[in-house]
Amino acid sequence: MTGYYLYGLLLGPGPDALDLLGIDQHPVQLHALDEFNFIHSHADRERYRTSRQNLLTHEKVLEQLMHQGFTVLPLRFGLVAASWEQVELDLLVDHREDLRALFIKLDGMREVGVKVYWEPDQELQQLAQHHPQVRAQRETLSGRVLTMDETIAVGRLVESALDQQQQQIAQHFNQQLDPLARAIQDNDLMSREMIYNRAFLIPWDQEPIFDQAVEVLGAHYGDRLRIRYNNFTAPYNFAILGER
């Protein structure tokens, strides 16, 4: 099959020349449909494997255009079109106004992301030693064999205290970071160690301020938390058709 691998859209004209290689080392090009320019390269197949190399290449194409100052509306990885007629039918006929609204929303903005991890076993140990309710329960039951009901009750108390601890940390991050963002998106927690996963849409030139806020949070919690801050990515979390 011969087709087009789609990376994203620009509104209006793009750069005079593109010096980018996309997936399978094919040159990246632009194709104009109405006022939109579709970022694409030649597609050798109908489906692309979600390998690390392919995902990074897809992201790199978008980021390089963003670094040149263009507002980019990203498309999901692996989107292949057989013809430009198909692209117009699937994306433009019913969605022109939504696409225009998304470009207005994203103009001058960038997406950043914050993920926070902790060591659950370490937190449990700290709770057992310092949390008033947990400590009092342990002292009450100390020195004797626990019944099944008592074991379950202690487990539930510890789990509740751990959840409360996680919520307090998340609330602290939200209090410090939310006022700096124009839009916010909570994402799924991907592991037992991950306790926070949030994307923020911020003005392009405000990233140093956001970065400083993340640094302050990191200093506050020290080694207790591992913070992963992605300060530049295509705005996938905020480029959703039907949301304005």
pLDDT digit string, tens, across residues 62-79: 999 999 989 999 999 999
Q: Is the pLDDT of residue 144 over 80?
A: no
Q: Which helix (H) or strand (E) holds 41?
A: strand 36-43
Give the C-alpha separation, 37 to 85, whole Å. 14
Residue 36 has pLDDT above 90, yes or no: yes
Rounded to two decimals, the pTM is: 0.82
Residues in the chain: 244
Distance CA 132, CA 140 (A): 12
Question: pLDDT by residue (tens digit) across 184-220?
Answer: 999 999 998 999 999 999 999 999 999 999 999 999 9
Average pLDDT value over all residues in the chain: 87
Residue with tokens 């970022």: 39
Output the pLDDT for position 27: 95
Report d(CA 102, CA 130) in Å as an integer: 48
Structure confidence at residue 120 (pLDDT): 81
- In this model, does residue 129 exceed pLDDT 60? yes
- Cα dihedral angle (21, 27, 28, 32), rounded to 10 degrees? 170
User: What are φ and ψ of residue 90, in 5° steps?
Assistant: -80, -35
CA distance linking residue 111 with residue 228, whole number of Å? 14
